[in-house]
Structure 1
Amino acid sequence: MSDMHVSKFGPEDGSPVLLLHGGGVAGWMWNSLRGRLESKYKVLVPDLPGHGQSADEPYRSHIETVDVLSQVLLRGGSAPAAVVGFSLGAQLTVELASTYPDLVDRAMVVSAQAKAMPFAGLTLRALGAAAPLARNRRFARLQARELFVPPELMEDYIDTSAHITKATLLAAVGDNMRFELPAAWSEFRGRALVMVGRRERVLMRDSAVAIHTALPGSEIEIVDGCGHGIPLQRPDWFNGRVAAWLSRQ
């Protein structure tokens, strides 16, 4: 899985910031945040396996993906990095900070599920049966609305969605649904901020509390008026919040 596509922006000697997108989208979800940060920071934006420009390399597991991300940081001389992750990418942020704490000095965990879902097998079977729907433009538009994908990114979303294979879908969503907090998360010594929308499902809000509680010293922020999609639903606010968080000593 060495073929993960990573876009790099900003000064080579800037402090590194790694942006990890959610499942079903790709690095383009960070376009506006990256634009806000790239004058000051070295911004790394991967397309996770099975997504976007990494679509030819199927998603296999969170652990394998985190191992490749660690190599991206090490090879690029980009460690330790601040990591901002959304949804699937937020789980990967927790896993990366827990497994490779020397490579991460800050972790922003946005809308991460951290409690294993019951009946995962049933849900995955239904998902597998529905997988061809992702290639349907009308269905993709409905899904995009759930994530607050803005009009200017709609074609990117439809294209990304159409190229996600059933194998990637089942592997990524399976690991997402079964995800539980690594024990080592409670020992992470960097700065951590856990964020969730007040209008997200109870499972997501409970997960945010669990992630925060497991790491003494972390901050938690519950964002009023937001569902599952804070970075795309309120980009101006979110981008400013990230910039302020990164600049704090």
Structure 2
Amino acid sequence: MHERHEYRDGTYRLTYTVDGSGPPMLLIHGLSGSRRWWRRNLHALQAHYTVYVVDLVGFGSARRQRPLGVRESADLIARWMGSLNLTPAAVVGHSMGGHISAHLAARHPDRVAALVLVCASGLLRGDWWRVALHLPRAALAGKADFLPTIMFDAARAGLVTLVRATRSLLADDITDFLARIQVPTLVVWGARDALVPLPLGKALSEGIQGAQFVVFPRAGHVAMVDAAADFNREVLTFLAAQVPAA
């Protein structure tokens, strides 16, 4: 296991690991997730970049804290990046983490060199309980051997945290923020995503000037797990033209 580091900001605690060499890259997991959701990507990415993998407030090793809203999470991450004196980083976010990453790029453009949004939740709407009804189908659409990780991380986050975080992201519309994202952007989606449907991915990519859109036909909501090799290749190819590795 990589050594875990901790950043404290008032009452909030952000935990992260760092490994690899080259320009900085930040990986931000989604709702109910943790750093462990990037395990199938780290080896490929760390060969070219210094990869920082966070556990968001309220999740993973940073659980037992009330979760922040998506905008507050983006602001916290920007302050953390500043505390490390990071140069603008390649930022890769999944689901709620993609939602947060979009805000980070729009609100703190000096922190982001390039953006990868993976099945991001920013345009998702509806009652939280209606969205939750899609979770079993979304989980079953992905890799069966990843299901225990999904269940374990959801259980340790706890129902209260999951409901609060879901309500927060569903109440936050990034439509008006998309035009403010000026960094090179890659939008990645799974065609079988039952939680954040493919048309929302297409709309997201069309709302960001110059964004590239890639769809993995056999992947579900956790596209970086379901199509790990394809995901790693597409991300590295995209970033090679934007944030060249050392």
Q: Same fold (TM over 0.5)?
A: yes
Residue 176 of structure 2 aligns with an amino acid whose one-letter code is: A
Contact 1:6 1:47 in 2 (8 A): yes
Distance in 2, Cα, partners of 1:54 & 1:220: 32
User: Which residue of structure 2 lines up, in the alignment, with residue 133 of structure 1?
Assistant: none
Contact 2:69 2:169 in 1 (8 A): no
Contact 2:218 2:226 in 1 (8 A): no
Matched, 1:167 2:167: no
Matched, 1:229 2:229: no
Contact 1:17 1:81 in 2 (8 A): yes
Contact 1:147 1:232 in 2 (8 A): no
Deviations, residues 159-189 of structure 1 (Å, cap 9, x unaligned): 3222113331112111232331252321322
* Larger mean Cα displacement after TM superposition, 161-170 or 77-86: 161-170
Matched, 1:48 2:42: no
Contact 2:137 2:194 in 1 (8 A): no
User: Which residue of structure 1 lines up, in the alignment, with residue 104 of structure 2?
Assistant: 96
Distance in 2, Cα, partners of 1:89 & 1:248: 23
Helix, strand or coil at the partner of 2:197: helix
Distance in 2, Cα, partners of 1:202 & 1:29: 17
User: Which residue of structure 2 lines up, in the alignment, with residue 181 of structure 1?
Assistant: 174
| Match among 4, 18, 40 for residue 8 of structure 1 | 18
Matched, 1:75 2:83: yes
Distance in 1, Cα, partners of 2:30 & 2:181: 22
Distance in 2, Cα, partners of 1:147 & 1:74: 38
Q: 1:122 deviation in Å?
A: 5.3
* Larger mean Cα displacement after TM superposition, 93-102 or 161-170: 161-170
Matched, 1:195 2:188: yes
For structure 1, the 5+ residue unaligned runs are 131-139
Residue 208 of structure 1 aligns with an amino acid whose one-letter code is: G
Distance in 1, Cα, partners of 2:151 & 2:186: 31
Distance in 1, Cα, partners of 2:46 & 2:196: 34
For structure 2, the 5+ residue unaligned runs are 1-10
* Larger mean Cα displacement after TM superposition, 159-168 or 106-115: 159-168
Contact 1:212 1:220 in 2 (8 A): yes
Question: For residues 149 and 225 of structure 1, do their structure 2 counterparts lie closer, same or farther at Cα, with a shift above 3 Å needed?
Answer: closer
For these two proteins, the number of residue pairs brought into alignment is 231
Distance in 1, Cα, partners of 2:124 & 2:217: 25
Q: 1:236 deviation in Å?
A: 1.4
Q: 1:205 deviation in Å?
A: 1.8
Distance in 1, Cα, partners of 2:128 & 2:143: 29
Matched, 1:146 2:140: yes
TM-score of the aligned structures, taking structure 2 as reference length? 0.83
Contact 1:17 1:82 in 2 (8 A): yes
Distance in 2, Cα, partners of 1:109 & 1:209: 12
Question: For residues 62 and 147 of structure 1, do their structure 2 counterparts lie closer, same or farther at Cα, with a shift above 3 Å needed?
Answer: farther
RMSD over equivalenced CA pairs, Å: 2.6
